[in-house]
């Protein structure tokens, strides 16, 4: 069964937030107002996650699964979970990806690769030790750099670096990030600062990717690439550089017309859009815990729910007024 919405967009990419917990405290992600972390009983168990992934891959023909958080690697027994996914992959192939802050990755990445991890994204918003601490509240800068080095050495190609740019906070490092990828197999992806519940978004901090491109072009010549591998990002090559840079413009130039993804929040809800309202979410955790619902039945409910997906999210003026999940529970 292929899943299309009423606008004819095929969906074959699922992002799952494994936990709403994180070992960093980034201001743009963590709510300003402290929220209670979900209990073990309120999140999907590993057994439920395996079943859900199998439903999406086998019943709904999904080709790509990305595991996010919070920080996914803080979850206990995460390597055992990846090992169990490897067994599913061997029978029903799909692309397995991970987004992580990199602080806990260094001593796990070899096993993750052995257990079938195909692609990795590492979040990093500053190349300066003191500023990293200022943004994250933790002194883990060098552990993240070591994780990037190890991922690159193990053959992840490219290692993607996710960088949220905020005016007056780290926008003066844009050129530094471009040069960070100069001689390396890295893809630095500049991501616009997005509004979520209680994350203190405001227009004064927001900086569009169009402005970043102009900044980079004051020093470097950019060539846009048509890689057809990432519908959300606009990819560029810097002449003379090995690595590449990309721009994800969810606010200033959204990619809704080609959206191919769904999300499962940390509490087990199906989210049709990154910015969709909480009251529109389908509780997958309730379906999975009800013995009445078979895999086929759950797949059908997902397909029906997808049909209600809107063509695009509202513009920024409306987005900032809506009640949305915090980024920790959505998984980006």
Summarize the confidence of residues 212-239 as an average pLDDT.
Answer: 88
Q: Is the pLDDT of residue 230 over 70?
A: no
CATH number, domain with residue 252 = 3.20.20.70
- Dihedral angle, C-alpha 142, 148, 152, 153, nearest 10 °: 30
Q: In the structure, what pLDDT confidence band is assigned to residue 227 with cuts at 50, 70 and 90?
A: low
pLDDT of residue 31: 59
Number of other residues whose CB lies within 10 A of the CB of residue 36: 7
Query: Which of 197, 202, 213, 216 lies closest to 275 in space, CA to CA?
Result: 197
**Residue 327 reports pLDDT greater than 60:** no
pLDDT 10s digits, 75-131: 999 999 999 999 999 999 999 999 999 999 999 999 999 999 999 999 999 999 999
Average pLDDT over residues 134-145: 96
> Contacts from 155-158 at CB under 8 Å and sequence distance 24+?
155/113, 156/113, 156/119, 156/120, 157/185, 158/185, 158/186, 158/187, 158/243, 158/244
Predicted confidence band of residue 37 (pLDDT cuts 50, 70, 90): confident
Over residues 148-158, mean pLDDT: 98
pLDDT score recorded for residue 213:
96
DSSP 199: S
Give, in degrees to the nearest 5, the angle at Cα 26 between 195 and 320.
10
Global pTM? Answer: 0.93
63-67, 92-96, 201-205, 243-247, range with the lowest pLDDT: 201-205
CA 84, 89, 92, 94 dihedral sign is: positive
pLDDT of residue 226: 81
The number of distinct structural domains making up the chain is 1
What DSSP element (H or E) covers 295? helix 295-306
CB-based contact 271:281 (threshold 8 Å): yes
Which has more pLDDT, 59 or 230? Answer: 59
**DSSP codes, 13-45:** EEEEE--S--S---TTTS-SS--PPPPGGGS--
Distances (CA, A) of 123 to 29, 235, 290: 12, 18, 36
CB 203 within 8 A of CB 237: no
Which pLDDT band, with edges at 50, 70 and 90, does 33 fall under?
low
Neighbours of 129 (CB within 10 A): 12
36, 44 Cβ separation under 8 angstroms:
no
Give residue 41's Cα distance to chain centre. 24
Q: What is the pLDDT of residues 239-279, one digit of tens each?
A: 999 999 999 987 777 778 888 999 999 999 999 987 776 66
The pLDDT tens digits for 286-309 are 999 999 999 999 999 999 999 889
Per-residue model confidence (pLDDT) at position 9: 93
Angle between the 78-91 and 46-54 helix axes, to the nearest 10 degrees?
20
Residue 32 has pLDDT above 90, yes or no: no
- Interatomic CA distance for residues 106 and 148, integer angstroms: 8
pLDDT tens digit sequence for 39-56 = 999 999 999 999 999 999
Give the whole-angstrom CA distance, residue 316 versus residue 324: 13
User: Measured between alpha carbons, how far is 249 from 260 in angstroms, rounded to an integer?
Assistant: 16
What are 295's two structure tokens? 């895999």
Range of the domain at 96: 3-330
Query: What's the mean per-residue pLDDT of the chain?
Result: 90
- What band does 177 get if pLDDT is binned at 50, 70 and 90? very high
């Amino acid at each position: 069964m292929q899943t299309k919405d009423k606008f004819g967009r095929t969906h074959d990419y699922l992002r799952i937030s494994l936990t709403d917990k994180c070992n960093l405290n980034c201001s743009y992600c963590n709510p300003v107002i402290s929220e209670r972390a979900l209990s073990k009983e309120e999140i999907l168990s590993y057994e439920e996650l395996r079943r859900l992934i199998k439903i999406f891959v086998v019943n709904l023909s999904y080709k790509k699964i990305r595991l996010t958080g919070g920080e996914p690697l803080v979850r206990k027994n995460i390597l055992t979970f990846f090992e169990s996914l490897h067994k599913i992959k061997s029978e029903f192939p799909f692309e397995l990806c991970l987004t992580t802050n990199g602080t806990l990755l260094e001593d796990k990445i070899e096993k993750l690769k052995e257990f079938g991890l195909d692609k990795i994204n590492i979040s990093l918003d500053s190349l300066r030790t003191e500023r990293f601490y200022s943004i994250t509240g933790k002194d883990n800068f060098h552990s993240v750099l070591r994780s990037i080095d190890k991922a690159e050495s193990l053959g992840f190609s490219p290692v993607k670096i996710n960088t949220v740019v905020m005016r007056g906070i780290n926008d003066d490092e844009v050129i530094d990030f471009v040069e960070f990828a100069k001689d390396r197999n890295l893809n630095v992806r500049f991501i616009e600062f997005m509004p979520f519940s209680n994350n203190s978004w405001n227009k004064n901090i927001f900086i569009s990717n169009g402005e970043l491109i102009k900044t980079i072009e004051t020093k470097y010549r950019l060539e846009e690439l048509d890689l057809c591998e990432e519908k959300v990002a606009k990819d560029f090559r810097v002449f003379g550089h090995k690595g590449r840079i990309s721009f994800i413009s969810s606010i200033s130039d959204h990619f809704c017309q080609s959206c191919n993804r769904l999300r499962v929040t940390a509490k087990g809800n199906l989210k049709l859009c990154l910015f969709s309202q909480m009251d529109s979410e389908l509780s997958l955790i309730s379906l999975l815990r009800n013995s009445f619902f078979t895999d086929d039945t759950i797949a059908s409910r997902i397909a029906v729910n997808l049909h209600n997906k809107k063509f695009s999210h509202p513009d920024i003026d409306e987005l900032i007024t809506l009640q949305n999940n915090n980024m920790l529970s959505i998984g980006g």
